[in-house]
């Protein structure tokens, strides 16, 4: 039987942390090795509240980190990842100013996979956006809805879609309008309209498992990758590249 991948989870008490923990319970591929969080969940071999309580020896045993936290949390994890040259999957969003440049710098030393949205469906929607180049003269609007506890607004995904859309149609588009309503997991809508017709492209996440599955798929893949910054494009085109 293949050796299980020892997982370090950053943000295990959070909503995405819960989704990851559910998927790795009884997993034949992952060992819930280490969590760093304010309250131990009882699901991991080792549990720490702060990174500075953890020995280098323990850090070295982690095969891959998954992070769903906050930018300031991720920035604390990066030096550990860099020193120990362990791969990292991060879905954290809401970066300000040049915070993300620290992720880019760290990826020169170790493999980092970052995506604002780890769902297969959302990636497919991003491919569909490229086809809007044929109607670049239309008017466009972006909208997103998330649960009321979501911190960043517009969402990281909406920021990504906005960049994709501007690139596809070759003109400036107003930033996404974000709504914070109830328990919505995430709805992203692109509307394109002319005087005669209207198109809507929409992705609706029906649960958080979809993001957690993407993160675990990326974790299985990244353990074999050299240093570099990887994205959903890399993960979704693996077969085609082979």
What residues line the site for ligand NAP (CB under 6 A)? 11-17, 37-39, 68-70, 72-73, 91-94, 115-118, 152, 156, 211
Q: Could you confirm whether 147 is annotated as catalytic?
A: no
Kindly state the smallest distance separating residue 13's Cβ from ligand NAP, in Å: 4
Residue (72 or 104) nearer to ligand NAP, CB: 72
User: Among residues 6, 85, 109, 146, which one is catalytic?
Assistant: 146
The backbone region for 182, taken as left when phi is positive above 0, alpha when psi lies in -120 to 50, beta otherwise, is: left
Question: What is the Cα–Cα distance from 80 to 105, expressed in whole angstroms?
Answer: 13
Kindly state the smallest distance separating residue 10's Cβ from ligand NAP, in Å: 6
Strands (E), the chain: 5-10, 30-36, 46-48, 64-67, 88-90, 111-114, 139-146, 177-180, 187-193, 198-204, 228-230
Cα maximum dimension of the chain: 65
Nearest to 164 by CA among 202, 137, 133, 138: 133
Kindly state the smallest distance separating residue 234's Cβ from ligand NAP, in Å: 15
Omega into 57 within 30° of 0, i.e. cis?
Answer: no
Residue (74 or 132) nearer to ligand NAP, CB: 74
Residue (122 or 165) nearer to ligand NAP, CB: 122
User: Among residues 4, 6, 147, 150, which one is catalytic?
Assistant: 150
Residue (170 or 182) nearer to ligand NAP, CB: 182
Q: Could you confirm whether 203 is annotated as catalytic?
A: no
Instruction: State the catalytic residues.
Output: 146, 150
């Amino acid at each position: 039987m293949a050796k299980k991948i020892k997982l370090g989870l950053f943000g295990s008490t959070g909503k995405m942390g819960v989704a990851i923990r559910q998927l790795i319970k009884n997993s034949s591929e992952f060992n819930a090795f280490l969590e760093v969080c304010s309250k131990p969940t009882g699901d991991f071999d080792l549990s720490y509240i702060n990174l500075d309580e953890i020995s280098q020896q323990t850090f070295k045993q982690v095969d891959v980190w998954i992070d769903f936290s906050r930018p300031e949390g991720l920035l604390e994890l990066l030096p550990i990842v860099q020193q120990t040259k362990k791969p990292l999957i991060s879905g954290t969003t809401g970066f300000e100013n040049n915070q993300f440049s620290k992720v880019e710098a760290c990826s020169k030393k170790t493999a980092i996979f970052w995506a604002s949205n780890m769902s297969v469906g959302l990636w497919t929607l991003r491919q569909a956006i490229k086809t809007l180049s044929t109607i670049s003269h239309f008017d466009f609007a972006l909208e997103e809805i998330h649960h009321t506890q979501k911190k960043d607004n517009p969402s990281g995904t909406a920021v990504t879609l906005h960049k994709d859309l501007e690139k596809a149609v070759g003109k400036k588009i107003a930033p996404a309008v974000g709504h914070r309503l109830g328990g919505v997991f995430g709805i992203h809508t692109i509307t394109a309209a002319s005087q005669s017709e209207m198109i809507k492209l929409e992705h609706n996440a029906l649960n958080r498992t979809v993001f957690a599955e993407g993160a675990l798929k990326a974790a299985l893949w990244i353990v074999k990758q050299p240093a570099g910054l990887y994205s959903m494009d890399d993960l979704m085109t693996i077969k085609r590249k082979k």
